[in-house]
Structure 1
């Protein structure tokens, strides 16, 4: 190897190179963004359309189905799901990963725009929303004040939001309020009938009178003037004095003759509160690529300045601040890495008892880490939970290459070589071995880097962090380490003190004991291998008892509880129950604030329907409960939720359901357990859903079991008698419009006041639309200028319609959902599959079931990881085969991988961790780490054999000589990961399973490798020897 010789011969150049890396690394570090998760563009676009007052079945037929059909024609569409509820249609379009979402969203807008004229005119224009993890609010909270909500909202919009949006990195500062200003034209039905005026006349008059129109231009005395017809309403009196018709005697009829005009609030079906008070909500989102922490800190500083200028009654209640969470997680992860590094270095010092080699090895950690920051910057990565987790996981491995080099340099100096020669020869001798071991570790991450789907996006940053840092550590081990060793180390003649001689004698005893044990195992190979195979079989037998889950639940400072009343419950009754729960939660010591939303969000904030964290009717309420930081409470968020659940009142027909904000941040509120039932008839689907719910309700660990068609919404069906209507010259659309105008009201035009535009809504006064009899008496003007009532042309019957209709790939589907508690996901699903087998066998033709939710995600992820592991194993084999120029020797080393399973399973069993995505990622990591010691050992056996050493003696001698670096590298890696494996701080739920997996596997494979590799090598070499002898 020429590199170590260059570094020793050109010490100043090498030192300057190290300084350049430090400076560039520091610059890169200060330029890196801080985030909780990597910036993930989920390939999902939602199309949200509202149609106020329409039933879910009507919206499905007139909006959802047609839009699904045209969306399915767009290229790279993978799956189309939809949810249709009363008043809104939400279509979720999933594209193939790698699709340019900007172009995809524009394609959807173009296609939907072409079809706009074919959906009901009263429906809103379809809103196309992209989902990006980076667009999730970095700060959101509530604001209360002792003043009307509209006044508060205007203050925040005028005085707060503009200042926040001027901050670098802020994309938008949004203010959301349940109260919306509206000009209401409340029509007196009796006056309307007495004057023979129709609602259509009022709507048309208001629309045609409220106009400013261009009229051209004229030139007068060398000046050109524009002509404008000014007719827009300037005041409420202008609206009241609008002429809407005339009587038979020619007397003009003004709007004020038949209606009251009021500046009021729009009727809302949503109630919201913060800390028990009515107010507004604020959401701060950052620009793509902006640093979350610095942006949020700048926002908080500006908010502090703004608060000093606002009236004293205005109070801010932050619910979530990503900057605080990120800083805590990053700080704890960094502390874990620091403690791990200190433990690894301390172990090396205890083992070597010499500060010089310890310091030399210790340099590998900061130099490798800071060099990795350069790679992060060039690759466009941020410091987040996964990239920093990758660095923390690899902290113990960063010294492995340096340990092998230093140990070999040490050995050459003990043999009497000068320090320069020992540094060159020691580093060069193991250069190929540590290069191969580094490449095998990196190779296992290559499949994860190129994996598709959410699994690939989540593992990519972690994999690249470890790969970058290991490449940096290899560079440091082959350049900086031999250079420093050639300067710091003392020659053998200078360091032959009694203390050092005593240490050598002590370790020599250990080495001799190992050599004798190895000699015995080589004589009893069948017995030893049989015992190990038995241990491996026992480990596999334990696997079913471990359980499985997709991702560990992360402790968050917010819990979300949905309250479900029977469908049809009034908004006021639901609010009464939610208020009772709200007060109960506010009393808990772990709770800092409670925000409440009751009613349907479909019309007030339709974009929220796409995220899953929403309410769908007056019978539902949502409570957002903020908790104190984890370090300030003894209970986890799950335990706090369980404590609250036990205190919740036992109310008849009231259900409580926990939601996971983490799933919302990761692309949707998917339930852990989800059984999808496909078919066409709503009634049949409901029967099947009811049967499945009944069968699985008491499965251990399953709770909040329900299905999306659990109850129907009570309705009155108005059936038009077409013959009667036709004789009167009426069409169904005319009758429907008359009903809608009378009850729900129609927006005739908009009233402009300054920069504000306010809807002018026309509808009957409440006393003329609050009973079924009033509905029958709605007047309808015929083309013959005669009035008839609705009861004359239609019949009204009571019925029931689905409150929510789900569709998947243009087929109706209902979902049976459930949460889990106290048990792993895999075990719960296994029990469910057994319970519903009978129901599935009896399904009618055209009906079938599938598992979805987190279980489906888990299965997909496990398949991806299994493929990644197979490819990683192949890459590791190929690298080792190239290193040894042998097809057989890599097989010897790869026997260490199954041996690691023994330790992994035992570690998971002891720690109570189920098999999850982080565990499988840890096992893939282990596949690259476990072979490293075997590579160093087999490489040295081959070197001794090439020098003419007897085969048996080469195995014994190489194993004994490599004992010290094997133990040092193994224990530095283990100790480096121990703080992470034992961590219980924020973010530990993701990191700890990976660390436990690697630590458990490495402990087992280290001790087993010391004996199994020599045994397997002797068996392979014996076969080869016999072939030669023949």
Structure 2
């Protein structure tokens, strides 16, 4: 985003400078720019960015090798920020999914636009101090607007109303649609407006002619105006649930995760904006309690009141809000289906101890999942949670195979201790092979930006848990059934 109010032709010139810079970067193969909006949907998972204005531009860059992207991003971000200090630059990987804006978002609701801007400035200052990039508000900066001052008495005498003045000015500068031209299946509007030389500057306003019903002729528009004043106004306003809303966006720099940036900025912003903690959760901050990111948990479509400002609320949005909503939806149904899984295992063994042993092996996966996500720097989001749920089914299957073999050996007359040892040895190969084939099938998804967190969860969780299951299940079986 360039400065608010810039002409689209000026945006085009600035984008040309960025394209020249990018062409000189090693590894860049193709560049595609969209000015004034986003690119057309060329991929099913791609959504057109919601920003659309003269100052907005979206540039897609293709490189020789995807492995180069992570190394190139910080340098390009730094260079473009120094080249265009008055622009909002956000260099990031191509997003396979909805264009939701910044990774971290803050919604501020209220009634007075000036108060909302004041609160947003405090939040954006903290974001910048904590090293966030592309910090911006959806309203943007105020722009200068010329406002004609209507001389009510002279206008009434000439039979001219305020809408007539507005229509005359619009027809001169913006133009009016006089017809439609059909070209194949496309309908192209025909717009009539004054020549460029007569609408180039605000001084051309004095040359506009407006029709007077009382005088029955065209007269200079300045006869019904007391002049033109310049005012600052907000070009775009947004609402949330029919309440005036200003949304602040921010993104983490480099390899930092959104959750890590949120951990630092969330408590500072909540305190700076004066969140009424007592009204929100029913009790104020304790004497020994420190305000942290977990003091107020992120909820979907939340409304956190601001102290001393009735009718003003804030709420956190972005990826973390979407993740909280997805987890809430899953949490409503997970107990039902996990309960059904437990009952099925109980009916299968017609006992309680074997199902208990099986379900005690499921938490072992958390060890591998934690190691994998930390090692590959992946967030525990919706896709990771989906992978963890799938992983639980795989581990239950492995435990069932092992315990069922132990029961079969005992029923065949084998010594109970030897039955446990023999089942572990005989079932090790099929269990390990089944886990290995599943892991090998998921490893190619490490390169996929959308499924990588799910793949990491399954591969590392299954790998760790399978090895531990072959030890943990026999030990628990011997413990529960008192076998020595």
- TM-score where L is the length of structure 1: 0.40
Matched residues in 2 for 1:754 and 1:994: separation? 48
Counterparts of 1:71-150 in structure 2, within 5 Å, are none
Establish whether residue 1006 from structure 1 lines up as the match of residue 466 from structure 2.
Answer: yes
Residue 958 of structure 1 is matched in structure 2 by 419
Residue 829 of structure 1 is matched in structure 2 by 262
Aligned partner of residue 618 in structure 1, secondary structure: coil
Residues 873 and 927 in structure 1, CA contact (< 8 A), matched pair in contact too? no
Relative to structure 1, is the Cα distance of residues 882 and 944 closer, same or farther in structure 2, using a 3 angstrom cutoff? same
Residues 742 and 778 in structure 1, CA contact (< 8 A), matched pair in contact too? yes
Post-superposition shift, 1:759? 4.5
Residues 615 and 622 in structure 1, CA contact (< 8 A), matched pair in contact too? no
Counterparts of 1:771-790 in structure 2, within 5 Å, are 771-784=201-214, 785-790=216-221
- 1:952-988 CA deviation, whole Å, 9 max, x = no partner? x42x22222212343213321343244456548742x
Matched residues in 2 for 1:993 and 1:750: separation? 51
Post-superposition shift, 1:1011? 4.1
Establish whether residue 930 from structure 1 lines up as the match of residue 391 from structure 2.
Answer: no
Residue 653 of structure 1 is matched in structure 2 by 86
Counterparts of 1:450-849 in structure 2, within 5 Å, are 564-598=1-35, 600-601=36-37, 611-613=47-49, 616-628=52-64, 630=66, 634-636=67-69, 638-648=70-80, 649-658=82-91, 661-663=94-96, 666-700=97-131, 702-750=132-180, 759-784=189-214, 785-795=216-226, 796-820=228-252, 821-841=254-274, 843=306, 844-849=309-314
Matched residues in 2 for 1:994 and 1:704: separation? 28
Residue 852 of structure 1 is matched in structure 2 by 317
Relative to structure 1, is the Cα distance of residues 948 and 705 closer, same or farther in structure 2, using a 3 angstrom cutoff? same
Post-superposition shift, 1:797? 1.1
Post-superposition shift, 1:717? 1.4
Aligned partner of residue 111 in structure 2, secondary structure: coil
Residue 283 of structure 2 is matched in structure 1 by none
Matched residues in 2 for 1:916 and 1:908: separation? 11
Q: Which has the higher helix share?
A: 1
Counterparts of 1:962-981 in structure 2, within 5 Å, are 962-979=423-440
Post-superposition shift, 1:659? 5.8
Post-superposition shift, 1:689? 0.8
Relative to structure 1, is the Cα distance of residues 867 and 1018 closer, same or farther in structure 2, using a 3 angstrom cutoff? farther
Matched residues in 2 for 1:875 and 1:745: separation? 67
Aligned partner of residue 737 in structure 1, secondary structure: helix
Relative to structure 1, is the Cα distance of residues 895 and 742 closer, same or farther in structure 2, using a 3 angstrom cutoff? same
Residues 144 and 232 in structure 2, CA contact (< 8 A), matched pair in contact too? yes
Counterparts of 1:55-454 in structure 2, within 5 Å, are none
Pick the structure with greater CA Rg: 1
Aligned partner of residue 781 in structure 1, secondary structure: strand
Matched residues in 1 for 2:428 and 2:209: separation? 92
Matched residues in 2 for 1:848 and 1:877: separation? 43
Residues 876 and 928 in structure 1, CA contact (< 8 A), matched pair in contact too? no
Aligned partner of residue 658 in structure 1, secondary structure: coil
- 1:371-405 CA deviation, whole Å, 9 max, x = no partner? xxxxxxxxxxxxxxxxxxxxxxxxxxxxxxxxxxx
Structure 1, gaps ≥5 residues long:
1-563, 1024-1030
Residues 696 and 835 in structure 1, CA contact (< 8 A), matched pair in contact too? no
Matched residues in 2 for 1:704 and 1:662: separation? 16
Relative to structure 1, is the Cα distance of residues 659 and 712 closer, same or farther in structure 2, using a 3 angstrom cutoff? farther
Aligned partner of residue 401 in structure 2, secondary structure: helix
- TM-score where L is the length of structure 2: 0.81
Residue 997 of structure 1 is matched in structure 2 by 457
Residues 37 and 58 in structure 2, CA contact (< 8 A), matched pair in contact too? no
Which structure is richer in relative contact order (CA contacts within 8 A, separation 6 or more)? Answer: 1
Residue 890 of structure 1 is matched in structure 2 by 355
Matched residues in 1 for 2:474 and 2:272: separation? 56
